[in-house]
Amino acid sequence: MNAFLIERLAIQLRAKLVGKPLSELFTTSQFDVYLIFDEEGVKVSFFQGQAYFQTPDLEKLQKKNRLPVFRSLKGVKVSEILTFPYDRRFDIVFEDQQVLAFYLFGKFAQLTHYQSNSWQEAFPVKTSKVETYEINTWQLEDKKVSDLRFLNENERLQLTHLSFDEMTSTERVIALDKLKQQVLKQPLFLNKGVKKYTLDYEAGAEPIAQFEEITQALDQHARLFISHQVYAQTKGSHLGQLHKELSMLEKKLKSAQKRLEELNRASSYKEKADLLMANLWQINKGASEVKLLNFEGTHEVIIKLQNTLRPQANAERYYTKGKNESKQRDFALKHLTEVEHNFLAKAKEIESFESVDSLKEIRKTADLKLTQKEKRVPYKTMHIDGFEIRIGKGARENDDLLRYHTSNSDTWLHAKDVSGSHVIIRNPNNTRILPSTIEKVASVAAFYSKAKSESLAAVMYTSRKYIRKPKGATPGLVKVDKEEVILVEPKLDF
């Protein structure tokens, strides 16, 4: 609020409150305080550091969770309300030398209680302390129009047209006081702006209401302004989170596209194996690499060799790798398709959420998303032969899976000598698990490990009771007291 609105409010409160006792003072939150004078009530809300005044319905005030404030003021009558022209302040003075000063300076607004000019307490509690009570009178002196920051643009123009800067000090005082008296009598308009509701002296593009009484105007402005700002902040915060999730999906999408392009560009293992078989006579024994012309004759292909193997054995090695290469492409394509789907779904979710205009619906959506996030578990699930299979999502998740989501009757599996997911066969009834089931789940454990590109991988399996976490071990690291090993093909489809 500017200085004129504050003085106008103080004048109206003076007419209503002088001679009345302050019957109740309490707060219901760290930013709202209520002052009840017989049948008159004033609520001051401190929102984003600024003070907003409301006239609450006394019959609808909450009865519970009230915390008394400024206790020594209760029951004391108001003797005067002081105004401070051209300053953003007014004081409620009580009969026994107590004062409740309303300092309304922008984002540092506060109510401060003084007893015999001595500081007692302030509200909100976490505000800068104005220890000394002073009655300062604003001095015009030789100030120019540009120095009168409490005026709006139209008010400055009025003074400029009167050649205010060229007037004598006395003429300036008279001109400014005349402008103030004019403004104090003007009707107020509650306007809906693009980003917020405003209280102005002129109707805007979308006026909501017109007021003669300042308390009514401030009450309606506070209700609409605060609710709209809360709505905008809540919606903006959730939209920001959605856009962050979309950005992460976009990065995943680019990464998946790049991976598939690399697999498609690279010379296949089978092609390299065929080239080696077709050119065995050109390969020197013990060579670590060989350059061979591709079958089209367009460019040379550099093929890395194991110098301890014969040329034909190197070719067989590439044929073996070639079997896994097609699986890698299939997996990369499947992953890309999944990420594309999630990206489009997230973009659609953002588009749908942007059209929501109800704070209740926004909070409902945000709370639902938060609940879903809280329900996330550290593992993925699948079912094989009637058993629930739990697959750890990462190193820390592996620890959580073992600690909170397994029992000693379960079976634990993990690819041997490589990093990977901990895999659990849930078996709460201690049912016999067939070897064929162990083999299938072992293939899953191999697939979710660094051995997934191998034709065969070694997988450990044992009862959960033989797995323990050494003290101070890094995430995902465990000690296996007893295990068996099986060789399987890394795969998910059976």
pTM above 0.85, yes or no: no
Residue 3 one-letter amino acid: A
Q: pLDDT 10s per residue in the chain (494 long)?
A: 889 999 999 999 999 999 999 999 999 999 999 999 988 999 999 998 899 999 999 888 888 889 999 999 999 999 999 999 899 999 999 998 999 999 998 778 999 999 999 999 999 988 888 888 998 878 888 899 999 988 888 999 999 999 999 999 999 999 999 999 999 999 999 999 988 999 998 999 999 999 999 999 999 999 999 998 888 888 888 899 899 999 999 998 999 898 888 777 655 788 888 999 999 988 998 999 999 998 888 889 899 999 999 999 999 988 877 766 666 777 788 889 999 999 999 999 999 988 888 888 887 777 766 555 556 789 999 999 999 999 999 999 999 999 999 999 999 999 999 999 999 999 999 999 999 999 999 999 999 999 999 989 999 999 999 999 998 888 999 999 999 999 999 999 87
Task: Round to whole Å and give the CA distance between 100 and 80.
Answer: 11
pLDDT at 370: 59
**Which residue is it, tokens 């709370």?**
367
Task: Round to whole Å and give the CA distance between 194 and 199.
Answer: 14
* Residues with Cβ within 8 Å of residue 40, at least 6 apart in sequence: 16, 17, 20, 55
SS3 letters for 383-403?
EECCEEEEEECCHHHHHHHHH
Omega within 30 of 0 (cis) for the link into 435 = no
Task: Round to whole Å and give the CA distance between 51 and 6.
Answer: 11
Task: Round to whole Å and give the CA distance between 98 and 108.
Answer: 22
User: What CATH number does the domain located at 3-123 have?
Assistant: 2.30.310.10
Q: What is each CA distance from 287 to 311, 314, 354, 472, in whole angstroms?
A: 9, 11, 63, 46
Strand order in the sheet with 24-29: 50-54, 40-47, 32-37, 24-29, 67-68
* Residues with Cβ within 8 Å of residue 205, at least 6 apart in sequence: 191
Task: Round to whole Å and give the CA distance between 226 and 354.
Answer: 20
Task: Round to whole Å and give the CA distance between 362 and 238.
Answer: 8
Task: Round to whole Å and give the CA distance between 51 and 106.
Answer: 8
Task: Round to whole Å and give the CA distance between 417 and 336.
Answer: 29
| SS3 at position 70 | coil
Task: Round to whole Å and give the CA distance between 183 and 181.
Answer: 6
Q: What is each CA distance from 125 to 20, 45, 46, 111, 219, in whole angstroms?
A: 26, 13, 11, 9, 24
Q: What is each CA distance from 307 to 280, 288, 293, 310, in whole angstroms?
A: 14, 5, 20, 8
DSSP letter at 284 equals: P
Q: At CB < 8 A and 24+ separation, what contacts does 491-494 make?
A: 491/327, 491/443, 491/444, 491/446, 491/447, 492/443, 492/444, 492/447, 494/384, 494/440, 494/443
Sign of CA dihedral 371, 357, 246, 327: positive
pLDDT at 485: 96
